[in-house]
Amino acid sequence: MAFKSIRRLMFIASFVLLMSLSFCLGNIYANEKIRLFIATHETNGEWKEVSCDPSPIIVNNRVFVPLRFIAENLGAEVKWNDEQNAVYIKSAEVIAQEKAQEAAKKEQEELNKMFRHGKVISVEPDKLTMNVEKGGGDVGRTITITINEYTSVQVGMRFVNKPGEKIDLTKWFKPGDTVGALVKEGQAKALGRELRPGEQQP
C-alpha cells in the first residue's frame, strides 16, 4: 500500500514537471530550467513552486528528479540501507497510522494505570472509600477517592449525572457495592458500579 501510494504521488509530480517543460530535443539538458511544483497539506492543496539540490534534469526527453526530495515533500519518510544497498520509503499515510497507533497505545497504558476495581467500604456525598482488588495500582489497599462536577458516574449501563453536574454519591452507592474507577492523584475521573441483584437499570 505504501509503495503504491508513493508511485502514484511520483507519477503526479512527474506529470506536473512534464507539463511545465518547453518542448526540446537531444539527449541531456542539464541546464534546461525545470520548474517543480508540489501540493501538500501544509499548502492546503495549493501548488507551490519549490527548488531542490540537485536540480531535476532531462535525459532522452525524460525528467529525472531527486527521489528523497520529492518523497519527503509529500510527507513520506526515506531511509537508506547501506548493507542492502536499498532505499526504503514509508508513505505519509503509514506514518500517520503509526503515530495514531502509538498515541492510542500510550492512552491505553495511562488508563490501565488509573484503573481501580474493588468493594465499597464507606460512602460520603463527595467521596468513597474502597478496597482495591485489582487494577493498575493499590491492589490490596484501602483508598479514598473524591469526585467533582467533572467526574462521570455510571450505574449499570447508564450515566446518572450530566456533564458538569456533581451528584451525591450516597444516593447511588453503598458499602458492599462492586465498583470500578479511573483515579488520578486521588481524584476520580470516572466512577461506576454494577447493578445490584434484582436492581432495575436507573
> Residue 89 corresponds to which cell in the numbers above?
520509503
Inform me whether the pLDDT recorded for 91 exceeds 70: yes
What is the distance between the alpha carbons of residues 71 and 91, in angstroms, rounded to a whole number?
8
pLDDT-derived band at 41 (thresholds 50, 70, 90) equals: low
| Secondary structure (DSSP) of 58-75 | EETTEEE--HHHHHHHTT
pLDDT for the residue numbered 144:
95
What is the distance between the alpha carbons of residues 89 and 79, in angstroms, rounded to a whole number?
7
pLDDT for the residue numbered 62:
81
> Is 2.40.50.320 the CATH classification of the domain at 112-193?
yes
What is the distance between the alpha carbons of residues 116 and 48, in angstroms, rounded to a whole number?
53
- Label the pairing between strands 48-50 and 77-81: unpaired
Highest mean pLDDT among 15-24, 40-49, 165-174: 165-174
Question: Which of 5, 66, 12, 6 has its CA nearest to residue 37?
Answer: 12
For the chain, the average pLDDT equals: 80
Contact 120, 177 (CB under 8 A): yes
pLDDT in tens, 185-197: 999 999 999 999 9
pLDDT in tens, 114-154: 999 999 999 999 999 999 999 888 999 999 999 999 999 99
pLDDT-derived band at 12 (thresholds 50, 70, 90) equals: very low
Task: Cell 495549493: give the residue.
Answer: 46
Domain ranges of the chain: 2-98, 112-193
